[in-house]
A and B are shown apart, each in its own frame.
Chain A
Amino acid sequence: MVELVLGGQTEAFEPLVTPYRKLLLTLAYRLSRNIEEAKEISQETLLRAFRYLGSFDRRRSFKNWLLQIEMNVWRSLGERAADEGTLRELAAWNTHEDPEERLAGKEAREKLLTCLDGLSPREREVFLLRDIEGRSVKETAEVLRTSPISVRVHLSRARVKIRRLVKDRFPGLMEAQR
């Protein structure tokens, strides 16, 4: 499909990236904590992916390549407004959910976000890719262009912080497990 796009059939780009559209937008939102910014990051990611498709190494995973672009975009665009705190308006955004689902989704998002707020940007990147998106340590290192050792160090710190945050903010969750 990459060859088709590069050969001039730009229509082939949509089926190429559609499987990842939710992933890209959700990850951008978790990173930026702002839906408008998440859209901007996701859009820029797709534009860059299209522009630089010729440089994509076919031996690599296309998904990881997209994630790598998104991380670069997030670092260049996302950080400037990361702490503006305009994220809580999300519930009204997704019009495909019914009101009950929307409310449940909002609660889940806010719970997650309050925990992610306590992580540093690098810890958040590593934690989201490894623990939420399920990438391996090696893949996470590849996406973030760093070493697996660095990933392990940040992951370890992030998990310790997450444990403390969950324990402080959601004590019921810990109690329920006992």
Chain B
Amino acid sequence: MSCSRIRKWIPLYAGADLPARKARRLEMHLERCADCRTEVEEIKTALDGIRAFANGEVIDWPVAEWNGLMARVKSERPKQHQVSRLGAIPRKAWAYGFAIVLVLGVAALILRSILSPPASPLLSEIISHTPAQPFRSLTIDEAAFVSYPQDIPFWVPREQGELDRAVLAAGPAPEKTTQDLMSMTLVSQETGLKVHWTFNKNFEWEEKKR
């Protein structure tokens, strides 16, 4: 083991505060490292020296001051310690209680996620899973009388559409079925939002929302 790693243990080892396993590893290192041995010895010497100074430094109260202090203390009344019911519960019991609440909370969350219905699919998923309706082309006349959904709260006719119809009227023969007009309604399951799209043959569209 390198000196740089072992050196941080030396102060605790010098004061006999290093756990036994680490102390054994440090001692193995000390057998072959003179620098670290010197450091251990220096810390021990410094601690012994300080303790020796400290032993010569015990301070006592002068008798008169001590008596005065005791007289002052005795003139007071000890406060009655009111132990609340919560305070009387040992810390261990609090820790266990907290752990139990935590475990129950996690279990409740897991159960909720298992038992609750699956989340609503996304709109894009609904569209991708909905089988496509067969196209039915409107004739130009049908297109002229196409009825729009009754549940649309408002409808702003476009002048552009009028022009388009005029153009269409001059187009191919009525018996020829071509896709001239198409409408599409998308309904959001989450919000109830309805989006109506109407396309003409130029693929222009109008959008109405509710």
Measured CB to CB, the nearest residue on chain A to B87 is A55
Complex contact B65–A39 (CB within 8 A): yes
When distances are taken between beta carbons in the complex, the residues of chain B under 8 Å from A52 are 78-79, 81
Chain A contact patch, size range: 35 or more
B96 at the A interface (CB under 8 A)? no
Q: How far is the CA of A159 from the CA of B9 in the complex (A)?
A: 11
Interface string of B53-87 (1 = CB under 8 A from A): 11011111110011001101110101111000000
Number of A-B contacts (CB under 8 A): 132
Given B15, B56, B74, which contacts A159 in the complex, CB threshold below 8 Å? B15
Q: Which residues of A contact B (CB under 8 A)?
A: 5-6, 10-11, 13-14, 21-22, 25-26, 29-30, 35, 38-39, 42-43, 46-47, 50-55, 90, 94-96, 104-105, 108-109, 111-112, 115, 130-132, 137, 152, 155-157, 159-160, 162-163, 165-167, 170, 173-174, 177
Complex contact A177–B41 (CB within 8 A): yes
Q: How far is the CA of A155 from the CA of B8 in the complex (A)?
A: 12
Complex contact A131–B59 (CB within 8 A): no
Measured CB to CB, the nearest residue on chain B to A27 is B59
Complex contact A131–B51 (CB within 8 A): yes
Complex contact A94–B60 (CB within 8 A): yes
Complex contact B11–A159 (CB within 8 A): yes
When distances are taken between beta carbons in the complex, the residues of chain A under 8 Å from B65 are 39
Chain B contact patch, size range: 35 or more
Measured CB to CB, the nearest residue on chain B to A132 is B54
Complex contact A51–B57 (CB within 8 A): no
Complex contact B45–A166 (CB within 8 A): yes
Given A47, A50, A162, which contacts B46 in the complex, CB threshold below 8 Å? A162
Main secondary structure of the interface of B (DSSP, over half): helix
Complex contact A47–B76 (CB within 8 A): yes
Complex contact A26–B59 (CB within 8 A): yes
B47 at the A interface (CB under 8 A)? yes
Complex contact A22–B59 (CB within 8 A): yes
Complex contact A51–B15 (CB within 8 A): no
Measured CB to CB, the nearest residue on chain A to B70 is A14
A-B contacts, 26 of them at CB < 8 A, read A10-B78, A14-B70, A22-B58, A39-B65, A42-B61, A43-B69, A46-B69, A50-B76, A54-B81, A105-B57, A108-B53, A108-B57, A111-B53, A112-B50, A112-B53, A130-B17, A131-B51, A132-B54, A137-B17, A152-B17, A155-B15, A157-B11, A160-B43, A165-B46, A166-B45, A173-B49
B12 at the A interface (CB under 8 A)? yes
